[in-house]
Structure 1
Amino acid sequence: MKLAINNIGKNTPWFWACLGSLICWLLTSLLLSKLDFQSLLVNAALASLLTIVSLGQMFAMTSGDGGIDLSIPYTITLAAFLSFGIIQGSESNLILGMSVVAGVGIVIGFLNAISIITFKIPPIIATMAIGFIVNSGVLVYSSSFSSNKTSAVLTTIANGRLLGIPLIILFVLALILIIAFVFAKMSYGRAITAVGQNRLAAFFAGINVNRTIMIAYMISGLLAAVGGALIGARIDGAFLEMGQSYMLQSVGAVVIGGTLVSGGKASTVGTAFGALMLTLMVTLMVISRLPIGIQYIIEGIILILVLIIDKPHTESD
């Protein structure tokens, strides 16, 4: 039985997250007394926003050495404010606004990487420190913030539908395919996997380890920023600490999805299912009217169980 569980984890790391999502949806349907595919689509749309951010987190974690990007929630918040403040509801400002948002995300990722690579600061501490600096920027910028409009294009992507399917889901599916292709076919995907498994061996294999790590954190910052702009468009506004819930949820989605905590192995599809599972689980607990404290405890227990299941798998690799 233990061998069979380990084989499932190795061959299809997304299996448990997929199964968990199905169970959460069925339990929710049971409480609502109907098998509602519409509610599944709504939850999948919400999970898509988490997926964008989590895919960036996945790059940081895959790079190894305890690589977790804790600057993500602050990047999300800053990106949302910037997208509203620059675009100002004018489509002519869309390219400029999103270029600034993307650029800021990349710069934040670059600063994270410099702190980790050059100053040898542990990733958790480095990214948290950079996050606090970013948060200071948010406080300064928001103090003179006046716009409450973003681009209609962003709003359509975040809230629109095509043939009944939320556009944000289609957007994320395209993103998943691109990232899956990077890991499966491109040299960078092989490089970051090798670096996460063994940095010294990767160095002797001719891989530029520092550059690989830097790109991983820059991608994390970029996806957090894009996610922030779309989150702001979906809720039609930006407010302080709006990205805070994404700090642990992005880590949880990646871990539940089958990406190794120790680095060196990513699961793109699993991350998406992990985000869906967490979103459905929150919906289930809200419908069950569980106190918020109990909800946090349940989420924590699930993460611990996933780590316990993943431990022998990690050691065997």
Structure 2
Amino acid sequence: MTDIRQRFFIEHSPVRGEVVHLAETLQTILKQRDYPKAIELLLGELLAGSALLASTLKIKGRLSLQIQGSGSLKWAMAECNHLGELRALAEWNDDPVLMQADNGDVALGTLKDGVLFINIEPEHGERYQGIVPLEATSLAGCLTQYYDLSAQIPTRLALACDGERAGGLLIQLLPRNDEEQTLMDEDLWPRLTLLTNTLKADELIYLPAQEILYRLYNEEEVRLPEHENLSFGCTCSHERCEQALRQVGQETVQELLNEQNEIKMDCQFCNAQYRFGPEEALGLFGMHVS
């Protein structure tokens, strides 16, 4: 099973959905840092969730999910762009409950006054941020709450991760025109919702998308376009580091150089390291080092 995102449609209805499977991408991200098990599982769900939600956008850009609050888990985030490139990161405090837990929901439970941010950043245009209090006991429940209350698009999500692989499923009832409203079976959405809730975590993680959809919706006419490949992708670059140095200003850059004669910038997402000596760093401000 490769890292994929499989779109599907229920024919003759305004229902669409996505199935996501992650393995290599998840392992690439988890190997960057020594995460507690509970955070690994939560990051897997965040990655699957970001890939699912990004698929609903019709823009070039990126979507990120970020959990933040106080407690053992400081924050966790995952991001997916329009190319299907993903990355994720988390910060935490040592805590026996968190360090020994083997359930991603426990990581959520350690947050106090937790909030979920849904950030949409188009390449061109205004940014959007949705905010949802972490009142549900699972990430899937929180995202469903976001769609119910903020987006007001009937949506159901299922997310799962076992530390090796992650899976996700999203199904939505899109706004209907007059013709669709007349022709649609009014029992369709309640029926699909009930069927989606029967999906087990191991089925979501390990069964191929086609089999998942057949098991759930075999009485419906399901159409599957070509799947999309997903992969790890980091947005760090030498140019971005240059921009960051320009933003902090010449005085701060000079102070850093006085302390260590070289500026080192590490990317926490992929562990890439960028180095700037005095000539290159000060050259960003039009200065020349003799």
Q: TM-score range by the shorter chain?
A: under 0.3
State the structure with bigger RCO (CA 8 A, min sep 6), 1 or 2: 1
Which structure has greater helix proportion? Answer: 1
TM-score between the two structures when normalised by the length of structure 2: 0.27
Tell me which structure has the larger Cα radius of gyration. Answer: 2
